[in-house]
Structure 1
Amino acid sequence: MSAASPSLTPTGTIALTVDRRRVAIATVVGTTVEWYDYFIYASAAGLVFGKLFFEPAGPAIATLLSFLTVGISFLFRPLGAFLAGHFGDRIGRRPMLVITLILMGVSTTLIGLLPTYGVIGIVAPILLILLRILQGVSAGGEWGGAVLMAVEHAPRERRGLFGAMPQIGVPIGLLLASAMLAIMNLIFPGDAFLEWGWRIPFLFSVVLVGVGYWVRRSVEESPVFEEIAARKEQTRAPIGKLFRYFAPLVILAALVFAGNNAVGYMTTGGYIQNYATNPNGPLGLDRGAVLWAVTVSSVFWLIFTFLAGWISDRIGRRTTYIIGWVLQGVFVVTLFPLVNTGNILLLGLGLVLLTTGLGLTYGAQASWYSELFPASVRFSGVSISYAIGSILGGAFAPTIATALQQATGTTVSVTLYLLGMTVIGLVATLLLRDRRGINLRPGAEEEQRRGIYAWSK
């Protein structure tokens, strides 16, 4: 019996429940592996890549260049989103998830094997950038497939909860990345960390990708895509259709994510780690202590992200977001006053408080995005909106924050930048409608096209 069957025997109901649970587990595992790989790079960029790959530029410029390599990958996320969106709307969600996972794992492992500038000169940063670009292509294609597998398998009344499953893979990925680096810092202290300690978390990606591949291969295709394929209604040029009819929606959805992503990349992009541990900076805190503080904050980010999905099934996606924007704005203002005390416990408190807003403006994203776009262009719509939002938000947030702090000599300018991005996310949210519970099947395209914007009927 197909997972999409409208009538089910008691045995079929059990099978359907088991299949949904398997899909939920697969999306969590897969996104965790993807974002572990992605964040291990960003953390290493804030901690060691400036010295290892860009040292001849001098400490300040080396830091900026290191963060620029984090941002460059975002410019290639749309390419991954376009490719995965096109083929995901034509051949299915499942194959694209496997392809993106393998691409990310290979790129990450190769980074762990790269010689440094001191060994092969200018070739080292060039190879580093090329591998980071491949990570960006993979990340751009990953998210849309994962969230659609989760949401399109979910019961209508629990889409927020199921959609939160791939979302929590992001904080879990950060947790694992930070914890691995913190452990390596203990095992390989001082120069040993620069020599070998930072490489092991990258090489460990091979194990994680093997697990993720096995889990993802075990799940069924999305029932929505199966129905599209059965009707032979795959769109020949889904991206063209998307921008012809839904360009304003893509822009607004991207701005929603940008407001969250810019703030989130203060830790996921390695900025706080670099700012707090830089021996030439104002704090000079212990690297291991800061990594553990980020790890603890990741646990709270996970909790609030999951909670947001659950809450959104009860009060709506839009309302959950609005509450999240308010909290995010408040705790953006308190972040640097706590960090700048130089007390590791207060730094950790600042990061933990920030996760409340970050979680509430991220946990409901999968279900809301999925309910905003019609079935025939849904993979393309959610993937491209996410990719554009990541460029506008997180891509160069660590670089911008570093440049602002260096230019003004104060983190007040960074706070104003993050507060401005939060307001942009709030405004975009207010211009969209909540569509909780809308029919996601391909036969309901007319319903899916109506009532998207706050001003529409």
Structure 2
Amino acid sequence: MSKSEIITEEQSCSRHLTKNDIKTLSLSSLGGTLEFYDFVIYALYVDQIVAPLFFPNSLSDFTRQLFAWGIFAAGYLVRPVGGIIMAHFGDKVGRKRMFTLSVALMALPTFIIGILPTYETIGMLAPILLLVMRMLQGAAIGGEMPGAWVFIAEHTPKKRYGFAVGTLTSGITGGILLGFLITIIIDKFFTKTDILDYAWRIPFIIGGIFGIISVYLRRFLSETPIFRELASRKALEKNIPVITVIKNHKFACLLVAILTWSLSTTIMVGVLITPGRILGGLYELPSIDCRIAGCIVALTLTLGCILFGWLEDKIGTTFNMLIAWGGLAIVSLYFYATLSKDISIDLLYIHCAIFGLFTGAIATLPIVGTRAFPPKIRYSGLSFSYNLAYAIFSAITPTLTLYLLNPAHVLGENAYLGAGIYISFVAILGVMVGFIPLAKQGWQETTK
């Protein structure tokens, strides 16, 4: 990248937020909310719907849960494919086009899941079709999240960079909150029999409609000024972007991969697995209380993303990640240590709110990741490292979590702390990353 290119990017980041910036951030965040809702609604119904309806009763409960969570993880395994392809064209033809395409590719499989026959109707074809739909969803989300982060990072002035990326991340994670709210409404107005018979389909059909709304919203977005500048000066990457990433930016990829491990574990274990598998399964709390607890975690997670994004602009990366990830390491151990079958519901909700707030530490990943790569290959660099790491760690996390929670395995009588120990470990990794120069300063042009 030439010196003039650096000056252009710095100049574009020296201004304050404009009305157009706010419009771009709002539409991108809302679109991300709707798309992420489509992706996570499956996780909220794994134990209640997927395991009993899409697998034979001849299997043990544990085996059905393992297969059901395995299909959930499959959505992450194909993320690198979708992410790399979309990022390639995002670096070549524009961020906006891929940003819109990703949400379009999410809507169709979500709707199809909502009308999919169950095992009782079509046998083993049911889980196979469900697996295919989850893989299509995974390919779509693989391009969505890195694309959204890059899109906003390149639209935002430098002095508001952390706040903008954190706010966008809160919008994306707001899809989890929306998912919990929808399932609470379903639980409230339908009986368990009705939910198993047909009502479980409603959130997926609504998700397909949400996808269409997201596509429409993104028509009003404009291409990022940084990409337009690169295109106008014919300074786009001439080689295959991902090859350049692998050859020249290995350390940045490693940095993003470590933070992705922290993020993926926090979301999957702390937000998606805990309400159903731990609160409902291990501690046998009522379904409605589990969903409300998950809703509270998701709500304060969205607030935490904004908080730690704002702190990034105020106190810098090292102190921000020390507070965010360090706080999560402590709070997660306390949260899981205090859970019990007899816990006061009010106390549970308070602990969920505090725990959820510190899970907002995940917003530091896109803040660090988007600036770790030069603009010409930024989308490909972030997408490749983020999605590949997510595929690896999401494949092992559900099984590892179930293993840690089993008293017959390594933790023995301390198995109830398994989820907290796992989250605390990856949170400490996040703290350590905050002290690395590339994480604090971002990619810097070197003079040869």
Do both proteins adopt the same fold according to a TM-score greater than 0.5, normalized to the shorter chain? yes
Partner of 1:41: 42
Q: Out of 408, 433, 451, which is 2:438 matched to?
A: 433
Distance (whole Å) between structure 1 residues aligned to residue 262 and residue 367 of structure 2: 18
Counterpart contact for 1:266–1:272, Cα < 8 Å: no
Work out whether 1:277 is the aligned partner of 2:273.
no
Q: Does 1:130 align with 2:135?
A: no
1:241-285 CA distance string (max 9 Å, x none): 00100012101211012113202212443343123223xxx4222
Structure 2 partner of 1:373 = 373
- Asked whether the 8 Å contact 1:44–1:270 carries over to 2, the reply is no
For the aligned residue pairs, the C-alpha RMSD in angstroms reads 2.4
* Residues 15-414 of structure 1: pairs in structure 2 closer than 5 A: 17-56=18-57, 57-235=59-237, 236-278=239-281, 282-343=282-343, 344-359=345-360, 361-406=361-406, 407-408=408-409, 410-414=415-419
Which whole-Å CA distance do the structure 1 matches of 2:430 and 2:389 have between them? 10
Q: Is the 8 A contact 1:185 1:197 kept in 2?
A: no
Residues 5, 402 of structure 1: alpha-carbon distance in 2 compared, 3 angstrom cutoff? closer
TM-score under structure 1 length normalisation: 0.88
When structure 1 is superposed on structure 2, of 372-381 and 383-392 the one drifting more is 383-392
Q: Please tell me whether the aligned partners of residues 41 and 204 of structure 2 are also in contact (alpha carbons under 8 angstroms).
A: yes
2: CA distance, partners of 1:261 / 1:7: 34
Please list the CA deviations of residues 13-34 of structure 1 after superposition, one character each: whole Å capped at 9, or x if unmatched.
99x8232122101210121011
CA–CA distance in 1 between the matches of 2:167 and 2:385? 19
TM superposition shift of 1:195: 1.4
Give the length in aligned residue pairs.
430
Query: Matched residue of 1:364: which SS?
Result: helix
SS of corresponding position for 1:269: helix
Distance 1:383 1:433 in 2: 18
Normalised TM-score (structure 2): 0.90
In 1, Cα distance between the equivalents of 2:363 and 2:284?
A: 34
Contact 1:145–1:379 (Cα < 8 Å) also in 2: yes
Render the CA deviation track for 1:295-336: whole Å, top value 9, x for unaligned. 122111111111111110111133211211111110111122
Gaps of 5+ in 2: 1-7
Distance in 2 (alpha carbons) for counterparts of 1:267 and 1:181: 18
Give 1:6-21 correspondences, 5 Å limit: 17-21=18-22
CA contact (8 A) 1:405 1:414 kept: yes
State whether residues 277 and 285 of structure 1, in contact with CA within 8 Å, keep that contact through their aligned partners in structure 2. Answer: yes
After TM superposition, give the deviation of residue 210 of structure 1 in Å.
2.3
Shift of 1:233: 1.9
Matched, 1:448 2:430: no
Offset at residue 434 of structure 1 (A): 4.5
**Aligned residues of 1:101 and 1:142 also touching (Cα < 8 A):** yes
For residues 159 and 168 of structure 2, the distance between their equivalents in structure 1, rounded to whole angstroms, comes to: 18
Residue identity matched to 2:260: F
Contact 2:284 2:341 in 1 (8 A): no
**Counterparts in 2 of 1:448 and 1:43: CA distance versus 1, 3 Å:** same
Q: Choose 81-90 or 384-393, whichever is displaced more.
A: 384-393
Q: Percent identity?
A: 26
Distance 1:125 1:237 in 2: 37
Q: 1:5 to 1:319 in 2, by over 3 A?
A: closer
Listed one character per residue, the Cα deviations across residues 198-218 of structure 1 (whole Å, up to 9, x for unaligned) are 110110013312221111111
Provide the secondary structure at the position in 1 that maps to 2:269. Answer: coil
Shift of 1:432: 4.2
Task: For 1:88 and 1:318, locate their aligned partners in 2 and report how far apart those are by CA, in whole Å.
Answer: 30
Segment drifting more, 342-351 vs 84-93: 342-351
